[in-house]
Chain A
Amino acid sequence: MPRILDPQDKYYIDNPGRVKAIQAQMHKRGIDVYLGSRIRTMSFVMDTFCPWRSYIVIPPEGQPTYFTFVVDALRVGDETWIDGDHVRAYGPMGGMDQVSAITDFIKDELGIKKGRIGYEDGISAYTAEGNLSHWEYTHFKDALPGFEWVNSHDIIDALSLIKDKGTIERFRTASLIVDEGHKAARAALESGGYRGMTETVIAGIAALAMRKAGSVSEWNFAGLNEISSGFRTGLGACTPPTTKEIQAGEPLMLDFHAMFKLALGDHSHNYLIGPATKRQRWHADNFVAIIQKVIDNYHAGTTPGTLAAMMMDFAESRGCGDFIQPACEHGIGLFGDEWRIGAIVNPDLPYWTDQDHVYSENEMVVCAMQYAAPEENIGFRYENDIVITKDGCEVLSKYPLGIEEIS
Chain B
Amino acid sequence: MSDLKEYLGPLWRDEALRRLQSELTPEKMNKVTTSMSNIYKNCPGGVELFLFIACEDGKVTRVETGTGEPPQAEFRIIGNYETFARISRAELGAQKALMTGKLKLKGNLAKALKLAAVSDRLNKVLAQIPTQY
- Do residues B106 and A104 form an inter-chain contact, with CB atoms below 8 A? yes
B18 at the interface (CB under 8 A from A): no
Q: Which of B45-91 contact A (CB under 8 A)?
A: 78-79
- Do residues B104 and A100 form an inter-chain contact, with CB atoms below 8 A? yes
A85 at the interface (CB under 8 A from B): yes
Which residues on A sit within 8 Å (CB–CB) of B4? none
Contact of B105 among A84, A85, A87, A93 (CB under 8 A): A93
Which residues on A sit within 8 Å (CB–CB) of B99? 92-94
A6 at the interface (CB under 8 A from B): no
B1 at the interface (CB under 8 A from A): no
- Do residues A96 and B110 form an inter-chain contact, with CB atoms below 8 A? no
- Do residues A96 and B100 form an inter-chain contact, with CB atoms below 8 A? no
Contact of B110 among A89, A92, A94, A108 (CB under 8 A): A89
- Do residues A89 and B109 form an inter-chain contact, with CB atoms below 8 A? yes
B101 at the interface (CB under 8 A from A): yes
Q: Bound state CA distance, A70 and B114, in angstroms? A: 11
Interface size bucket, A side? 20 to 34
- Do residues B105 and A77 form an inter-chain contact, with CB atoms below 8 A? no
Knowing A94-B104, A100-B104, A108-B106 are in contact, say whether A89-B113 is a contact too (CB < 8 A): yes
A146 at the interface (CB under 8 A from B): no
A95 at the interface (CB under 8 A from B): yes
Q: Most chain-A CB neighbours within 10 Å: which of B97, B102, B104, B109?
A: B109
- Do residues A94 and B100 form an inter-chain contact, with CB atoms below 8 A? yes
A74 at the interface (CB under 8 A from B): yes
Contact of B109 among A84, A85, A90 (CB under 8 A): A90
Closest A residue to B104 by beta carbon equals A95
For chains A and B in complex, what number of residue pairs have CB atoms within 8 angstroms? 51
Q: Bound state CA distance, A87 and B114, in angstroms? A: 14
B22 at the interface (CB under 8 A from A): no
Which residues on A sit within 8 Å (CB–CB) of B105? 93-96
Q: Which of A77-125 contact B (CB under 8 A)?
A: 77, 84-85, 87-96, 100-101, 104, 108
Closest A residue to B113 by beta carbon equals A70
- Do residues B109 and A101 form an inter-chain contact, with CB atoms below 8 A? yes
Contact of B108 among A88, A92, A94, A100 (CB under 8 A): A88
Closest A residue to B101 by beta carbon equals A94
A161 at the interface (CB under 8 A from B): no
Closest B residue to A76 by beta carbon equals B110
By secondary structure, the B interface counts as mixed
B36 at the interface (CB under 8 A from A): no
Which residues on B sit within 8 Å (CB–CB) of A332? none
Which residues on B sit within 8 Å (CB–CB) of A84? 110
- Do residues A95 and B106 form an inter-chain contact, with CB atoms below 8 A? yes
Q: Bound state CA distance, A206 and B102, in angstroms? A: 51
Which residues on A sit within 8 Å (CB–CB) of B102? 94
- Do residues B110 and A95 form an inter-chain contact, with CB atoms below 8 A? no
Which residues on B sit within 8 Å (CB–CB) of A101? 109
Knowing A93-B98, A94-B98, A95-B78 are in contact, say whether A85-B108 is a contact too (CB < 8 A): yes
Closest B residue to A86 by beta carbon equals B108
B20 at the interface (CB under 8 A from A): no
Knowing A94-B105, A95-B105 are in contact, say whether A74-B98 is a contact too (CB < 8 A): no
A73 at the interface (CB under 8 A from B): yes
- Do residues B109 and A96 form an inter-chain contact, with CB atoms below 8 A? yes
Which residues on A sit within 8 Å (CB–CB) of B79? 94
- Do residues A77 and B110 form an inter-chain contact, with CB atoms below 8 A? yes
Which residues on B sit within 8 Å (CB–CB) of A91? 109
Closest A residue to B108 by beta carbon equals A88
Q: Most chain-B CB neighbours within 10 Å: which of A84, A85, A95, A100?
A: A95
Q: Bound state CA distance, A101 and B111, in angstroms? A: 13
Q: Bound state CA distance, A73 and B104, in angstroms? A: 19
- Do residues B106 and A87 form an inter-chain contact, with CB atoms below 8 A? no
Q: Bound state CA distance, A95 and B97, in angstroms? A: 11
Q: Bound state CA distance, A77 and B109, in angstroms? A: 13
Closest B residue to A93 by beta carbon equals B98
Closest B residue to A72 by beta carbon equals B110
- Do residues A74 and B106 form an inter-chain contact, with CB atoms below 8 A? no
Nearest chain A CB to B84 CB, angstrom units: 13
Which residues on B sit within 8 Å (CB–CB) of A89? 108-110, 113
6 contacts between A and B (CB under 8 A): A88-B108, A90-B109, A94-B78, A94-B98, A95-B103, A96-B98
Chain B residues within CB distance 8 Å of chain A: 78-79, 97-106, 108-111, 113
Chain A residues within CB distance 8 Å of chain B: 70, 73-74, 77, 84-85, 87-96, 100-101, 104, 108
A90-B109, A93-B101, A94-B100 given; 19 more Cβ-contact pairs under 8 Å:
A73-B110, A85-B108, A88-B108, A88-B109, A89-B108, A89-B110, A91-B109, A92-B99, A93-B98, A94-B79, A94-B97, A94-B101, A94-B103, A94-B105, A95-B104, A95-B105, A95-B106, A96-B109, A100-B104
